[in-house]
Amino acid sequence: MAFTATQYLFKASIITATTANTVGSYTVPASTRGMIIGLTLANTATSNAMNYADIGLTDGLTTYFVARKTPVPPGGSVVAVGVEKHVLIATGSIQVTAYATSGLDAIATIVEIT
């Protein structure tokens, strides 16, 4: 019986989203799966404005939303993925959209499995 080696690689991805701008935080490399073990959103506004975010996972063709219009308070943060884990297939990605004029930082922690 042959065994194949599996490689686990930890990565962090940091993005900044602005008004109605959907950005890809992380894309899984070919022949790899990515497990999202953490995703935190932080409102980086200098004003006292509430920010909202959509968080979606895509398989390369279709986006499936984990959360829609998630409120992120001024000066605060929200743990969007922490307890439950999400697995992305090869070429899948994380998409984040902010809804306020100020910025929103998203920090994802991913384990790549090859």
What pTM value is reported for the model? Answer: 0.78
> Among residues 63, 51, 50, which one has the least CA distance to residue 23?
63
Ordered by where they begin, the domains of the chain are 8-113 (2.60.120.340)
Give CA–CA dist 101/112, Å, rounded.
33
Going residue by residue through the chain, which has 114 residues, state the pLDDT in tens, using 9 for 90 and above.
454 546 666 676 777 766 666 666 778 888 888 888 888 888 887 778 788 888 888 888 898 998 898 898 888 999 887 767 888 888 888 888 888 766 788 888 888 888
> Among residues 48, 46, 111, 37, which one has the least CA distance to residue 79?
37
- Per the listing, tokens 């809804």 go with 99
